[in-house]
Amino acid sequence: MFKAELIEKAARWRSAGDDAGRDLQSCPALVLNADYTPLSYYPLSLWPWQTAIKAVFLDRVVIVESYERQVHSPNLDMKIPSVIALKQYVKPNEFPAFTRFNLFLRDRFACQYCGNGKDLTFDHVIPRRLGGRTTWENIATACAPCNLKKGGRTPKQAHMQLSCDPIRPTSWQLQQQGKSFPPHYLHETWRDWLYWDIELEA
């Protein structure tokens, strides 16, 4: 059978069960790189089951583990993959994108002045009016009260101490940070592929 036809089929697949689609939506596949480490930790690399099955038919991934649940087509029954691995290694970018989310992640979702985790905002360490730029090296996570207190001053002028100097993290460093924030839900078949201490966290 032609691949395109198989893919078309995958799109039309239905679960045998009653309220088909809905339940199936909660069967995402954990995506591993070709070295069997997660493609991404934070957010965890997960694909909807339809995408996972398409990738199987496109011969881009291997199935590592499966759910008990099956999907059915006229010609084929198939267990839904729960863990898949890319056949071709994807080299991670050395540096992550400069986004608000990644910046919070670098700072572990805590104010860099007082450690508070609520009402988080971004602080220009060297204020903009003094020429401070919006870069990894000049933006720190700050809670709203600290941001207000600091105002348009440098930390020194405001007598406020950063817990660590802002740096541009590598993707690897950011991923390491992400491991401290595991997702709320982890399917049992994913655990072998994630963190050593997952049993402790679960």
111 touches Zn ion by CB under 5 A:
yes
- Of the candidate spans 44-52, 70-78, 106-114, 148-156, the one that interacts with Zn ion by CB under 5 A turns out to be 106-114
Least distance to Zn ion, CB of residue 123, Å: 9
Candidates 7, 20, 78, 114: give the one binding Zn ion (CB under 5 A).
Answer: 114
Q: Does 113 bind Zn ion (CB under 5 A)?
A: yes
In single-letter form, the type of residue at position 92 comes to P
SS (H, E, C) 55-99: HHHCCCEEEEEEEEEEEECCCCEEEEEEEEEECCCCCCCCCCCCC
Nearest-angstrom CA–CA distance, 45 and 32: 8
From 146, 160, 174, 194, residue interacting with Zn ion (rule: CB under 5 A):
146
Does residue 121 belong to the site contacting Zn ion (CB under 5 A)?
no
Least separation, in Å, of the C-beta of 144 and Zn ion? 8
Q: Say whether residue 30 binds Zn ion (CB under 5 A).
A: no
- List Cβ<8 Å contacts ≥24 apart for 23-27: 23/69, 24/49, 24/69, 24/71, 24/80, 25/49, 27/67, 27/69, 27/80, 27/82
Task: State which residue, 114 or 198, has the beta carbon closest to Zn ion.
Answer: 114
Residue 125 in contact with Zn ion, rule: CB under 5 A: no
